[in-house]
A and B are shown apart, each in its own frame.
Chain A
């Protein structure tokens, strides 16, 4: 971000007339022109629409209007967020060309806050993946090292911010799809409390796990963006009917007197350099006045299995709507059933088919109890284990990703190897708790490492205080 270090400075400059929203946007569009062919962060760049929106903001400011807390900030949207009249694909052939008849709640809220949408970002098809290699429209490259993946599934949203194509972006996180790419691209990424942000207009993957959240350069920007999208929405029955807590005081609170948990039975598998960064994070927090407490979460180890039965089960049901009737593509056939089968066989990619198969199997008669039923019981154990731990600590620290950004193709031949990327991020989704990744240290080839901060339900103020402390110690954002 050449001219601006963060989105707050853009809002300040645009609102006071020190610069114009059009100039800010032009700077970002110039970087898109320069590097997008190489990075492929976007499925669609909204050049004309963005220029019009920026001009309107400038006109309103010139007329003395107060535009909003995100005045003139160029923001990228993951392409599974519905935008009225603008193609929304989920990076799937089956939705290619579809234009939603309505906006997601987060999209309307950001527009009302003065944001300028620069484009729709690439993802693993239907958000299923950890590298953005599963997109039907080709992979996104990590702007920090284009021989490596940006993580996934919100890889395009992470790459867009890391490359300076947008000042902030939104992704969605079902098992780590914001936190892992944030870690791999040196950004702050937040998975809010389940129900804190409306899911209306987020194309469903696994409805009991999905949450929308921000990618930003720093913790204060993440607080600004999250506050702009959070809060009750009558259009989402799982939306929490309470005001979302303010995060501004958290940014300067510090961690003095907090109790922060170290999970002693955390599953192994993180690279030594990642473990070393997490250890240093504990040292930093202890020096800042936190008490580090050893805790045990036996169910953590079983999270991966529970997730990879529950998420595909929900997905197999949610994706039943892609049948070639109401939207998306259709393969013609003599009768409806053949049409459904041919349309879905042609329209979905390999990983989506794999998960629909896994989920259908886990839900089928005779196997329901052995698979889905058991996974739901493990989920209960997970919730009980975390509830016990939060009686004695305020927050927990773990790695966000087991490794730094990995080279293309290194995990595509073995789906299980890819699934292991989600080991540390999955439990928060299963139990609906908030979690965020914050850049802290670097590993091989100077690639960024993300440390994950976890907190209980609606514990975002505590979580942001810990993240802000880690950011201060790390000396600001990585990029």
Chain B
């Protein structure tokens, strides 16, 4: 009763998955701030290509006039009264950090960063 027409005008998943190579996977790992070993990169390349090829089943749907749905229900902005509330305990929060001093989180140098 709800047959949907074949084909789509925007890029298909199938063609994209066929282009996936190790260099593209290395770029994704860098974007995700994940240090992967050579072995992990090889595995990721094979796995991702396989999954994306499987997911190409939705290429069969014509989705041109369909509105994307990001949430189960429409989100509305939520406001609260402008009144003081209990907040997290400063020392308790800092105690959970790998490095903290003088009431602040500690990190290695951030300047001279090469991405």
Contact = CB atoms under 8 A, between A and B. Distances in A.
Given A302-B57, A357-B25, A360-B28, A374 B72 contact: no
A208 B57 contact: no
B63 A334 contact: no
B6 interface: no
A14 to B, nearest CB: 31
Contacts of A338: 108
Contact of B11 (A301, A340, A369, A416): A369
Question: Chain A interface mostly helix, strand, loop or mixed?
Answer: helix
Contacts of B75: 237-238
Interface string B94-115: 0111110000010111101111
Interface string B74-110: 0100101000000011001101111100000101111
Interface centre among B24, B48, B50, B108 (most CB of A within 10 A): B108
A380 B55 contact: no
Contacts of A327: 96-98
Contact of B96 (A98, A332, A370): A98
A333 B25 CA distance: 23
Nearest to B91: A101
Interface centre among B29, B55, B78, B115 (most CB of A within 10 A): B55
Contacts of B115: 337
A335 B50 CA distance: 35
Interface residues of B, number: 63
Given A323-B33, A370-B13, A329 B54 contact: no
Interface string B15-53: 010000000110011011111110010011001101110
Contact of A361 (B11, B40, B48, B66): B48
Contacts of B61: 302, 377-378, 381
Interface string A326-350: 1111101111111111101110101
Contacts of B40: 350, 353
B11 A376 contact: no
Contact of A330 (B36, B51, B58, B98): B98
30 contacts: A99-B96, A100-B96, A208-B71, A234-B78, A237-B75, A238-B73, A238-B75, A296-B1, A305-B57, A325-B105, A328-B98, A336-B113, A341-B35, A353-B44, A357-B32, A367-B16, A370-B12, A374-B13, A374-B63, A375-B58, A377-B63, A377-B67, A379-B68, A380-B67, A380-B68, A385-B2, A415-B47, A430-B72, A432-B71, A433-B72
